[in-house]
């Protein structure tokens, strides 16, 4: 470390201490944080570019990771201090699905942001099953029931209908499964107790893992017929002319949780001040992204387009980040909440978010045995750490950085995420009664079922 670097750290720590006397200096000011090249990593990029990390006395290196498994493994073994994670990753690790590790989150990075895209050939077959609006465009939302004849067509040819998602405990996996099942298609079951983690048992549609940036190329090669992924990789398919997004996750479940910032529990306990300062910087970045009715989004697009962040064309990133979404080429529709980073209390780690993911893990067999309702409650509160978030939020209010009304009532329970719409199948989500919710679906494991 150079003398100038030491002086810079000393100065930054002094400034940070002055701006928030209640939080001590960072125990570990030099940090390496991981991310995947997706637009929803934006709070990390913005916190760096706008100097919010530096304001907290933190010297952060942001490093793109090859895939979600590598990212998680590097957080667990300490190569990364924390990372942009799938909302289900801390939960999956904590309950021992895939990789066993004690991972927590105290920050929700965004709401919405995903889409489901199919190949041009599949779209041509699906399109004929859709109702049209007066201007000749397909009516949205599009039900997966329109895909059933296509799946049957592939089956009659002796072929599997294959779709990609990014990771077994990803939002994309559960959203894609939810959409398919709501349309009467079984996306298959996991049976870890029997050593089968393919997730394709009894499947009408076979789902497999593909890293997000590779989705368009995998679709173009014909390896898969469709995929669920975050941006900009749905819009990339439109720009390349190789596929058509059929639905966004906003249409599947408005204001659904998407990514989180995850660290190991041990890291959080060893570096409490550092953790709080990271949260403060990311909360400020999320606020900046949604500030003044998304006034900063065009600047955010320019930042994300840089090769060290997402590295896609500005035009592709802007297609969804600035309040629109393009389905079939030329079919551009207003979706102002496609990417939400701060409004609707997006950054708060609500227990209900965790419970939804856990119910889907049980529904599709990743949780092999039935669990009582209180297990879901306890697991959600142990992994989604609202107590730590509240401490960071209070400090931002106390030092005048953000107003109290930017946050939910920090003295309240804040169990269930507000401002959410109805799921596409109309089945009410009842987070206080997770087993009743699981048992309400036509397709999926129920009670003591095993695949």
pLDDT tens across 276-333, in order? Answer: 999 999 999 999 999 999 999 999 999 999 999 999 999 999 999 999 999 999 999 9
Which pLDDT belongs to residue 129?
A: 87
Is the separation of the CB atoms in 273 and 98 below 8 Å? no
pTM above 0.85, yes or no: yes
Is the separation of the CB atoms in 310 and 298 below 8 Å? no
Cα–Cα distance for residue pair 162/151, rounded to 1 Å: 9
Which residues are CB-neighbours of 387 under 8 A, at least 6 positions away?
A: none
The total number of structural domains in the chain stands at 2
Same domain, 229 and 265: no
Q: Which residue has the tokens 């559960």?
A: 174
Cα–Cα distance for residue pair 48/308, rounded to 1 Å: 12
Token digits for 422?
């109805």
Which pLDDT belongs to residue 15?
A: 47
- β-sheet bridge partners, residue 82: 33
Which pLDDT belongs to residue 3?
A: 36
Inside any domain, residue 413: no
Which pLDDT belongs to residue 134?
A: 86
* DSSP string across 309-373: TT-S-HHHHHHHHTSEEE-STT-EEE-TTSEESSGGGTTS--HHHHHHHHHHHHHTTSS-S---H
Which pLDDT belongs to residue 98?
A: 85
Which pLDDT belongs to residue 18?
A: 44
Count CB neighbours of 138 within 10 A: 20
CATH number of the domain that 292 lies in? Answer: 3.40.190.10
Q: Could you give phi then psi for residue 34, rounded to 5 degrees?
A: -100, 160
Is the separation of the CB atoms in 324 and 333 below 8 Å? yes
Is the separation of the CB atoms in 125 and 152 below 8 Å? no
Which pLDDT belongs to residue 50?
A: 98
Which pLDDT belongs to residue 17?
A: 44
Q: Which residues of 216-240 are buried (b: 16+ CB within 10 A; e: fewer)?
A: bebbbeeebbbbbbbbbbbbbbbbe
pLDDT(11) > 80: no
The pLDDT mean for the chain works out to: 94
Is the separation of the CB atoms in 168 and 72 below 8 Å? no
Cα–Cα distance for residue pair 62/7, rounded to 1 Å: 22
Same domain, 208 and 309: no
Same domain, 317 and 246: no
Which residues are CB-neighbours of 400 under 8 A, at least 6 positions away?
A: none
How confident is the model over 105-113, as a mean pLDDT?
A: 98
Same domain, 174 and 229: yes
Same domain, 251 and 303: no
How confident is the model over 393-398, as a mean pLDDT?
A: 98
Same domain, 40 and 139: no
Inside any domain, residue 387: yes
Which pLDDT belongs to residue 56?
A: 98
> For residue 351, what pLDDT band results from cuts at 50, 70 and 90?
very high
How confident is the model over 99-111, as a mean pLDDT?
A: 96
CB burial of residue 197 (10 Å; 0-12, 13-18, 19+) = middle
Q: Which residues of 159-182 are buried (b: 16+ CB within 10 A; e: fewer)?
A: eebbbbbbbbbbbbbbbbbbbbbb
13-69 residue pLDDT tens: 444 444 554 899 999 999 999 999 999 999 999 999 999 999 999 999 999 999 999
Which pLDDT belongs to residue 20?
A: 59
How confident is the model over 101-127, as a mean pLDDT?
A: 97
Same domain, 127 and 33: no
How confident is the model over 140-147, as a mean pLDDT?
A: 97
Count CB neighbours of 269 within 10 A: 12
How confident is the model over 407-436, as a mean pLDDT?
A: 97
Same domain, 264 and 249: no
Which pLDDT belongs to residue 440?
A: 97
Same domain, 140 and 169: yes
Same domain, 285 and 356: yes
How confident is the model over 59-84, as a mean pLDDT?
A: 97
Domain containing residue 106: 3-112+257-325+337-406
Same domain, 106 and 197: no
User: Among residues of the chain, what percentage have pLDDT more than 70?
Assistant: 95
Inside any domain, residue 428: no
How confident is the model over 193-204, as a mean pLDDT?
A: 94
Same domain, 102 and 131: no
């Amino acid at each position: 470390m150079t003398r100038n670097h030491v002086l810079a750290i000393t100065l930054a720590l002094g400034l940070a201490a002055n701006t928030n006397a209640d939080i001590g200096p960072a125990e570990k000011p030099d940090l390496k944080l991981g991310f995947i090249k997706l637009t929803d990593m934006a709070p990390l990029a913005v916190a760096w570019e706008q100097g919010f990390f530096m304001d907290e006395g933190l010297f952060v290196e942001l490093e793109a990771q090859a895939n979600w498994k590598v990212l998680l493994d590097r957080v667990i073994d300490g190569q990364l201090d924390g990372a942009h994670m799938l909302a289900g990753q801390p939960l999956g690790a904590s309950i021992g699905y895939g990789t066993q590790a004690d991972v927590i989150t105290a920050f929700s990075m965004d709401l919405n942001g995903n889409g489901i895209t199919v190949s041009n050939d599949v779209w041509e077959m699906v399109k004929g099953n859709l109702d049209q609006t007066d201007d000749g465009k397909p009516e949205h939302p599009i039900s997966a029931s329109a895909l059933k004849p296509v799946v049957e067509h592939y089956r009659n040819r002796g072929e599997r209908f294959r779709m990609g998602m990014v990771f077994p405990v990803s939002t994309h996996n559960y959203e894609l499964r939810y959409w398919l099942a709501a349309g009467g298609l079984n996306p298959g079951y996991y049976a870890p107790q029997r050593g089968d983690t393919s997730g394709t048992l009894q499947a009408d549609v076979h789902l497999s893992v593909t890293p997000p940036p590779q989705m368009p190329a995998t679709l173009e090669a014909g390896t898969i017929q469709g995929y669920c992924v975050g941006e900009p990789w749905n819009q990339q398919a439109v720009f390349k002319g190789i596929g058509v997004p059929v639905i966004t996750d906003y249409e599947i479940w408005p204001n659904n949780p998407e990514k989180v910032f995850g660290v190991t529990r041990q890291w959080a306990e060893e570096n409490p001040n550092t953790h709080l300062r990271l949260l403060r910087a990311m909360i400020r970045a999320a606020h900046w992204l949604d500030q003044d009715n998304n006034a900063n989004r065009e600047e955010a697009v320019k930042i994300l387009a840089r090769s060290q962040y997402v590295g896609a064309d500005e035009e592709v990133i802007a297609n969804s980040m600035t309040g629109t979404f393009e389905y079939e080429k030329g079919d551009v529709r207003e979706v102002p909440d496609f990417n939400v980073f701060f409004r609707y209390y997006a950054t708060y780690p609500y227990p209900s978010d965790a419970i939804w993911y856990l119910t889907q893990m049980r529904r599709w067999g990743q949780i092999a045995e039935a669990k009582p309702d209180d297990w879901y409650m306890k697991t959600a509160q142990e992994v989604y750490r609202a107590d730590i978030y509240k401490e960071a939020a209070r400090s931002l209010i106390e030092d005048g950085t953000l107003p109290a009304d930017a946050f939910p009532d920090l003295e309240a329970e804040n169990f269930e995420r507000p401002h959410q719409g109805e799921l596409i199948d109309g089945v009410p989500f009842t987070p206080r009664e997770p087993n009743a919710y699981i048992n309400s679906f036509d397709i999926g494991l129920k009670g003591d079922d095993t695949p």
